[in-house]
Structure 1
C-alpha cells in the first residue's frame, strides 16, 4: 500500500467516525460538498469571547434535573447512556429531559423575542 492510500484511508475513517458521532447525537449530519480551493482558514476563525457564558443563567427556565442533564450533555460532553448511568435513570428519561429542556428554552426565546 502506498503512503497516499494509507493517509487517505485514515482521513476517510476520521470523517466517518465524526459523522457517526454527529448522527448519534441526533444532529443527522449531512454530507456537504465544499470547494477546498475557495475555503480560507481565516474565514473559519471565530472571534474570541469577550466574557464566558453564564450557563446557570441560560439554564434558569429548566428544572433542576433538566439543568443537570443539560450540563452533562452539552458542557461535559457525555452521551445519554453515560448520563443515565451517572444519574441512575433510564436512557429514555435522559432523552425526555433533553427534549423537554430544548422545548422550554425555545419557548423562552420566543417569549422574550431573543431570536
Structure 2
C-alpha cells in the first residue's frame, strides 16, 4: 500500500511541477542545454505533464482494482487527481496556446 501511495504522489507531484513551471524550465533548457526555440521545449513539457496525469489516473484505477488503496484515501486521490489535473492541464494548454500565438 505504501508503494502505491508513493507512486501516485510522485507522478502527481512531477506532473504538477512540469505543468506549472513549464515556461521557466523551457527557457532554462534553451539557455543552458541546447539552443532551441523554447516553444518546442514547452510543447514537450506540456505533453509530458498531461501524459503523467493520465498515468496517475490509470495507476490509481489499477491499484484500486488490486485493493492496494484504502477506500478513504481513494476518494481523496480521485478528487485531487481529477480536480488538480483538469485545472493545471487546462492552464498549461492555455499557456502553450498563447506561446504558439
TM over 0.5: no
Report which of the two has the higher share of helix. Answer: 2
Q: Compute the TM-score of the two structures, normalised by the length of structure 1.
A: 0.30
Structure with the bigger RCO (C-alpha within 8 Å, sep 6+) is: 2
Q: Compute the TM-score of the two structures, normalised by the length of structure 2.
A: 0.34
Q: Which has the larger radius of gyration?
A: 1
